[in-house]
Chains A and B, each alone.
Chain A
Amino acid sequence: MRTRKFVNDPTSPSRTRALSLARAAEQLHAKLLKARQLQQMTQKQIAELQGVKQPTVAAFERYDNDPKLSSILSYAHAVGATISMSVEIDGVEVELGWSPIAQVDVPFARLGRLEGRPTLAPVRLVMQLAA
């Protein structure tokens, strides 16, 4: 007689949520690999951009890899991709009440006037575009 501690119910909210997350993970990984293919880049080129060895890229690309978020972002950046993310509860997106901050670089501004001589120095202007 098989002992069963846990219920195998594919329709339970926990299970459907888990399946959605698992599918998202598989899709993300497969799409990143597809991005490299579309960009016609080699593992060696990706490795050079990431500052790692080619076998590290090969290991990342294995389907049974369980990569860290930092590895995912690094690989995405190297293949020239961005990633869109959405966190939802029961289909409703979780809102933070703030939006990403846009940074505008103003490369040259006059500083140093107090010293009596004009100098050029970079200034980074940070703007919050939306609350």
Chain B
Amino acid sequence: MARESRTTDPSGAPYRWELYTAGAIRLVENELDDCLQARCRTQAEYDRFRSLVEARLERASHGGLGVFDETAPEPVVTQPALWEMRWSFGSSRELRMYHAEPETVPDLLFAVKYHWKDFKGLSQADKELRQNTEMAEAAQRFRRSSYYSAPDEENDPN
């Protein structure tokens, strides 16, 4: 049974965000910056988009992304479970972020990947392939992190 995301559950809030790093490289922080550097047209737009990301992360850390009488969204990836957060900056610019919520750390929201959902001109099959590639990379990063603990079936050689 899929677990409700902490981002929609105020009962355990506040949660804290931590960003995936690769050694000393702040990979996710740099990824967000690269995304915005590539698509923003002015410094003001960069500041606005960056702030929209930050403000929504704050709302999520208070468990404020859900609707009280609606079913919470399920993880977009399972094994390991990853959830997706979205930002729309106009119709053609949609930012996505994947995060994990390690069960062993109940107050943690662990961001593992940002990317633009920009698949214009691609076939449906190519769009799915691109999206799956992004999610697979996100899952791989989480598996490499110290927060990941493999479920029993993954440890079972049989």
Which residues of the other chain, B, contact A42 by a CB distance below 8 angstroms? 69
CB distance from A4 to the nearest CB of B (A): 6
Q: B86 to A64, Cβ gap below 8 A?
A: yes
B2 interface residue (CB < 8 Å to A): no
Q: B30 to A23, Cβ gap below 8 A?
A: no
Which residues of the other chain, B, contact A37 by a CB distance below 8 angstroms? 68-69
Main secondary structure of the interface of A (DSSP, over half): helix
A109 interface residue (CB < 8 Å to B): no
B59 interface residue (CB < 8 Å to A): yes
Main secondary structure of the interface of B (DSSP, over half): helix
Q: B44 to A23, Cβ gap below 8 A?
A: no
Which residues of the other chain, B, contact A58 by a CB distance below 8 angstroms? 67, 70
- Stretch of B33-41, B99-107, B130-138 lying at the A interface: B33-41
What sequence of 0s and 1s flags, for each residue 105-128 of chain B, a beta carbon within 8 Å of any chain A beta carbon? 000000000000000000000000
CB distance from A12 to the nearest CB of B (A): 7
What sequence of 0s and 1s flags, for each residue 32-61 of chain B, a beta carbon within 8 Å of any chain A beta carbon? 011011001011101110111011101100
What sequence of 0s and 1s flags, for each residue 1-22 of chain A, a beta carbon within 8 Å of any chain B beta carbon? 0111111100010110111011
A-B contacts, 21 listed (Cβ < 8 Å):
A2-B33, A4-B33, A6-B46, A7-B43, A8-B46, A15-B50, A17-B47, A18-B47, A18-B51, A19-B51, A22-B55, A22-B56, A26-B56, A26-B59, A37-B68, A61-B70, A63-B56, A63-B65, A64-B86, A64-B87, A66-B88
Residues on A facing B (Cβ under 8 Å): 2-8, 12, 14-15, 17-19, 21-23, 25-26, 30, 33, 37, 42-43, 58, 61-64, 66
